[in-house]
């Protein structure tokens, strides 16, 4: 260990996980030197500026407090690997798009490249920590790669992240649990205890769980699968509610008051998005298929199928209620990020609604307080294959508005697709006065006061809510 610091940490990957995690470690463990490294000079420059590359409430203050003291961002990867006692691998593990397991299996190429870099550069013993979400038994692959370095010993640990975007800082400061998996050998247990001691500077010891490597790796996939399963479960019930006159919010409350079930993740919506849920479930599906557990694979795959159905169902209902056509109609999209308090658009449900409305010939005006037009198009191209070169009049068909009011001016309909708090506070009487009539609101997050909107004059349709015009016995 260093004479100047109790421990030195290098984190490979300056993204949504690596940046916030290392910033909080630096804040809460001031005698630990933390350096986040990345190949992208642009990304590192952003972390070293006043405008961070990701939006996360509370993060700028922590970075400002620690940067230059015990938190550093650099592209000098080789030097920082040599300095470090603990090296975190926190790089993207996207779903494979080609080859064996395409569309389901995780591509761990970036993890392997990190391991190869460590093996090539390290000149002392290291603890290597998987922070990326990886398939179970990835640590064995990393360990085999590290054996290419004949002069030093490496211990590989699994320390999966359980962060929710928008609350990542809070999740890091007061985690439900910190999970650390390692080999159950004297050397593996010692390495795990070294990492435990870093977290123990602010996390109660009883919340730091130690397991074997494989339990830790699989726990992250299972945690996200269970959360996504709850979303798809309540969304399946939302469709039934709309047909029967039941109210999905009342169902959620009644079911959630059962202590055995709990109320978290029982809010019906247009579906889940983000970089984790779908990717991790597909990874779990592929693992089950790989081990011949076909029924298990089908079970978890239906969580994805239900999510896809919910997004498609929402758009189809929009078109049906607008007299079976959206062609030439202006539609305001309120929110493009996959959830509030983040600018992340990966797998966002909004994108699929926009895609389907484009196919219907709608003129779409998108307003989101954190999402840039460039980010919107990058994800649309990557996930849906839609770009200006293969979609005529794409740029003209989609406008990015600077505020919610201009997005709705002259619109036939508003679709609320992200639960930003500001959408609850808008002057809907003013908005109604500027819209084409009849003026529709489709609430994909159930955050608005539907009764008040109807009093103003809107025709309101919401997820899992009965249409008062369709039932006379509500």
What confidence tens digit (pLDDT) does each residue in 131-177 have? 998 888 899 999 999 998 888 999 999 999 999 989 999 999 999 99
Say how many C-beta atoms besides its own lie within 10 A of residue 120's C-beta: 12
Residue of 147, 150, 137 whose CA lies nearest to 108: 137
* DSSP classification of residue 261: T
Residue of 268, 214, 213 whose CA lies nearest to 237: 268
Instruction: Read off the pLDDT band of 452 (50, 70, 90).
Output: very high
Share of the chain above pLDDT 70, in %: 99
Residues 148 and 112 sit within 8 Å (Cβ to Cβ):
no
Q: What is the mean pLDDT of the segment spanning 91-115?
A: 91
Q: What is the mean pLDDT of the segment spanning 442-470?
A: 96
What pLDDT is stored for residue 236 in this prediction? 98
**pLDDT tens-digit profile of 19-36?**
999 999 999 999 999 999
What pLDDT is stored for residue 2 in this prediction? 46
pLDDT at 1 over 50: no
Residues 181 and 217 sit within 8 Å (Cβ to Cβ):
yes
Round to whole Å and give the CA distance between 88 and 107.
Answer: 18
Residues 12 and 114 sit within 8 Å (Cβ to Cβ):
yes
Round to whole Å and give the CA distance between 170 and 196.
Answer: 19
- List the catalytic residue out of 66, 241, 276, 288: 276
Residue of 29, 58, 8 whose CA lies nearest to 202: 29
Distance set, CA 331 to CA 97, 351, 407, 440 (Å) = 32, 14, 8, 9
Tokens 């779908």 locate to: 278
pLDDT at 474 over 80: no
Instruction: Read off the pLDDT band of 3 (50, 70, 90).
Output: low
Round to whole Å and give the CA distance between 303 and 288.
Answer: 14
What pLDDT is stored for residue 149 in this prediction? 84
Let me know if 114 is a catalytic residue. Answer: no
Mean pLDDT value across the chain: 96
Say how many C-beta atoms besides its own lie within 10 A of residue 372's C-beta: 13
Tokens 């952003």 locate to: 46
């Amino acid at each position: 260990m260093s004479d100047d610091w109790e421990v030195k940490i290098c984190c490979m990957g300056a993204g949504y996980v690596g940046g916030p995690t290392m910033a909080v470690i630096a804040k809460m463990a001031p005698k630990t030197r933390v350096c986040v490294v990345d190949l992208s000079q642009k990304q590192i420059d952003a972390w070293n500026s006043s405008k961070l590359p990701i939006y996360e409430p509370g993060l700028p203050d922590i970075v400002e407090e620690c940067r230059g003291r015990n938190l550093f961002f650099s592209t000098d990867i080789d030097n920082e690997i040599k300095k470090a006692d603990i090296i975190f691998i926190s790089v993207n593990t996207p779903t494979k798009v080609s080859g064996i397991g395409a569309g389901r299996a995780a591509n761990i190429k970036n993890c392997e490249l990190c391991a190869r870099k460590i093996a090539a550069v390290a000149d002392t013993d290291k603890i290597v920590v998987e922070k990326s979400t990886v398939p179970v038994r990835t640590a064995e692959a990393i360990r085999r790669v590290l054996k290419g370095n004949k002069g030093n010993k490496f211990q590989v640990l699994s320390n999966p992240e359980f962060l929710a975007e928008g609350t990542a800082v809070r999740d890091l400061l007061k985690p439900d649990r910190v999970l650390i998996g390692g080999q159950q050998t004297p050397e593996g247990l010692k390495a795990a205890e070294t990492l435990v001691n870093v977290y123990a500077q602010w996390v109660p010891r009883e919340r730091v769980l130690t397991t074997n490597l494989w339990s830790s790796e699989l726990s992250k996939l299972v945690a996200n699968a269970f959360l996504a399963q709850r979303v798809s479960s309540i969304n399946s019930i939302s469709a039934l509610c709309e047909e029967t006159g039941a109210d999905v919010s009342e169902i959620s409350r009644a079911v959630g008051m059962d202590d055995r079930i709990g109320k978290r993740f029982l809010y019906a919506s247009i579906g889940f998005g983000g970089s984790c849920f779908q990717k991790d479930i597909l990874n779990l599906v592929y693992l089950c298929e790989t081990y011949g557990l076909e029924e298990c694979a089908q079970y978890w795959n239906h969580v994805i199928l239900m999510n896809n159905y919910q997004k498609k169902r929402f758009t189809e209902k929009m078109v049906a209620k607008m007299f079976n056509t959206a062609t030439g109609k202006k539609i305001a999209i309120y929110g493009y990020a996959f959830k509030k308090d983040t600018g992340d658009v990966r797998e966002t449900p909004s994108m699929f609604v926009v895609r389907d409305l484009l196919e219907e010939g709608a003129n779409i005006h998108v307003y989101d307080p954190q999402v840039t037009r460039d980010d919107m198009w990058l994800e649309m191209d990557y996930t849906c294959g839609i770009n200006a070169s293969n979609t005529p009049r794409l740029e003209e068909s989609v406008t990015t508005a600077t505020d919610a009011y201009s997005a709705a001016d002259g619109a036939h309909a508003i679709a609320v697709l992200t639960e930003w708090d500001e959408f609850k506070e808008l002057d809907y009487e003013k908005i109604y006065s500027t819209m084409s009539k009849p003026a529709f609101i489709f609430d994909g997050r159930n955050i608005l006061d539907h009764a008040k909107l109807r009093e103003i004059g809107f025709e309101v349709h919401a997820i899992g809510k009965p249409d008062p015009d369709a039932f006379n016995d509500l």
